[in-house]
Amino acid sequence: MMDSLLADASQRLEQALKYTFISEDAIESLKFPQTSLSVSIPVRMDDGSLQVFQGYRVRYDDTRGPGKGGVRYHPSVTMDEVQSLAFWMTFKCAALGLPFGGAKGGITVNPKALSRMELERLSRGYIDAIADFIGPDVDILAPDVYTNSMIMGWMMDQYSIIKRHICPAVVTGKPISMGGSVGREAATAMGAFYVIQAMLPKFDKDPESTTVAIQGFGNAGGILAELLYHKGYKVVAVSDSQGGVYSKNGLDIPSVRRTKEATRDVRAPYCDSSVCEISNQEILTNEELLKLDVDILVPAALENQITAANAPYIQAKLVFEVANGPTTSAADKILDEKGIYVFPDILVNAGGVTVSYFEWVQNRSGLYWTLDEVNQKLQSRIIEEADRIWTISQENAIPLRTAAYVHAISRLGEAISAKGTRDYYLNGRGKSRN
Q: Which residues form the catalytic set?
A: 104
Q: Find out whether 143 and 158 touch, Cβ atoms under 8 Å.
A: no
List the one residue out of 334, 328, 336 whose CA is nearest residue 303. 328
3-state secondary structure at position 244: strand
The secondary structure of 277-338 as a DSSP string is: G-SSSEEE-HHHHHT---SEEEE-S-SS-B-TTTGGG---SEEE--SSS-B-HHHHHHHHHT
Q: Find out whether 63 and 412 touch, Cβ atoms under 8 Å.
A: yes
Collect contacts of 133-137 with beta carbons under 8 A, ≥24 apart: 133/35, 133/37, 133/57, 133/59, 134/57, 134/67, 134/159, 134/170, 135/66, 135/167, 135/170, 136/66, 136/167, 136/169, 136/170, 136/360, 136/363, 136/364, 137/66
3-state secondary structure at position 344: coil
List the one residue out of 193, 259, 202 whose CA is nearest residue 228. 193
Strand partners, 70: 142
Q: Who's near 205: CB < 8 A, 6+ residues apart?
A: 295
User: Using CA atoms, how far apart are residues 378 and 200, in angstroms rounded to an integer?
Assistant: 18
3-state secondary structure at position 9: helix
Cα→Cα distances 18→23, 246, 408, 415, Å: 13, 42, 14, 19
Q: What's the per-residue H, E or C state across 78-99?
A: CHHHHHHHHHHHHHHHHHCCCC
Give the H/E segment covering residue 262. helix 253-262
List the strands of the sheet with 35-44, edge to edge. 35-44, 50-61, 101-108, 67-74, 139-143
